Structure 1
Amino acid sequence: MTCVHVITHANRHFYEESLEQFHRLRHQIFVEERGWSGLRQPDGLEVDAYDNQHAVYLLAIDAGRLVGGQRLYPTLLPHMISEVFPHLAQLGVPQAADILEWTRYFVVKERRTGRTDCRLLAAMQEFCLGEGITEVTAVVEMWWLPRWQQAGFKVRPLGLPQLIEGQPCIAAAVEISQASLEHVRKLAGLRGASLIRNGLSSRIHQVPHVAA
């Protein structure tokens, strides 16, 4: 059975193999499949500056095999939209203790027609609700917008679309709500809480210190 595990700096020692799978699959999907050539690495692992002690990973694992994943990161710290894609957020870059950035989302190819996608979307909403997060921001290809709408997510654009790696992309903010969680749970046939918090307390979110 597929379960979504919450992984932070505090419990990553339980998940070193799964995290290596995550970085290897990121390279396979974002570089080799989607053609993001700027991320190519000779070791076949896609790791960036935001894979650090502040990152939270929600990984879908089935019998020890990683089948999907995503990353959440504090927006009070320098993050991908503020540092790499500020030009996509013409309406401003949302930065607050209750806003996280949502990146590196994927489902392995053979699971994209099943329930794994909805499990991961539900996991994101469930985790954020439990942590007091009200919104997540992301840069995505335009085809994500109808996908999010189908999942019951409320989305607001942060600017106009622009081409990235030959694809029209947009910066957007997604509302965190119980209604969105219940909608996507229904799509996936999920009942109740589904996150595995191995070695973690019930609430882990800490606002990082930012120097004045």
Structure 2
Amino acid sequence: MTDIHVITRENRAYYSDLIEQHHRARHDIFVGERGWNDLRRDDCRDVDDYDDEHAIYLLAVDGSKLVGGQRLYPTLRPHMLSEVFPHLVHRALPTGPQIYEWTRYFVVKERRYGRTDCRLLAAVQQFCLNEDIVQLTAVVEMWWLPRWQQAGFKSRPLGLPQVIEGQPTLAVSIDISDASLAAVRRQGGLRRDDLVTHHLSQPTTGVRSYAA
């Protein structure tokens, strides 16, 4: 059974092994598969300036295996779109306490043809609804737009696309809504809330004990 674990500064100590797996999986996917060579590190871990105490991770775990993940970051702080890709924004940059940046979305190769993608997309909508987050911003390759439309997400470009790492890429905003959550759940045949948000009473190592 796949669950999506919500990891914040409050419970991060309980998830140290899982977070380490996720940094290595990100390096395998974004550097090894997608060729983002600016992210290459000798320790084979994808870690950047936004993997700090303010980051929120939604990580998909099936039994003891990490199968996907994504990161949210507050836009009231310097973030990737404001600091690294401001040239992609041709209008006012959306920021505020109810707007977060969405980055580092991935699904491991062997799970890309199942429900994991829909579970992660549903999880980001559900988490944001729970936390009164009304909008996300993101920098994505243009091939993401029809996928989001298929999933029922409402997105808007914040500027014109530019080629980054060989791919047409643009900045977008994504609305959070009950309608989008319902649409992606229908597409994936999801009948339950996959978010795990409880805090464990003692730190532990090993992913298996994290599942609800």
- TM-score under structure 1 length normalisation: 0.93
**Secondary structure of the equivalent of 2:24?**
helix
Q: Is the 8 A contact 2:27 2:46 kept in 1?
A: yes
Matches for 1:158-197 after TM superposition, within 5 Å = 158-197=158-197
Q: How does 1:129-140 map to 2 (within 5 A)?
A: 129-140=129-140
Higher relative contact order (CA 8 A, sep 6+): 2
Aligned to 1:15, what secondary structure does the other structure show? helix
Counterparts of 1:1-212 in structure 2 under 5 Å? 1-199=1-199
Per the alignment, in what secondary structure is the counterpart of residue 121 of structure 1? helix
Report the alpha carbon displacement of residue 194 of structure 1 after superposing the two structures with TM. 2.0
Asked whether the equivalents of residues 2 and 194 of structure 2 are also in contact (C-alpha less than 8 Å), the reply is no
Tell me, yes or no, if the aligned pair for 2:24 and 2:45 is still in contact at 8 Å.
yes
2:46 is paired with a residue whose SS is coil
For 1:92 and 1:143, the matched residues in 2 are separated by: 24
Shift of 1:192: 3.7
Unaligned 5+ runs, structure 2: 201-212
- Alignment-mate amino acid for residue 87 of structure 1: H
**Which consecutive aligned stretches of 4+ in structure 1 deviate over 6 angstroms post-superposition?**
none
| SS at structure 1 position matched to 2:82 | helix
Are the aligned partners of 2:8 and 2:53 in contact in 1 as well (CA < 8 Å)? yes
- In the comparison of the two structures, how many residue pairs are matched? 200
* CA distance, structure 2, for counterparts of residue 18 and residue 66 of structure 1: 7
Aligned-pair identity in percent equals 65
Shift of 1:189: 1.4
Tell me the C-alpha RMSD between the 2 structures: 0.9
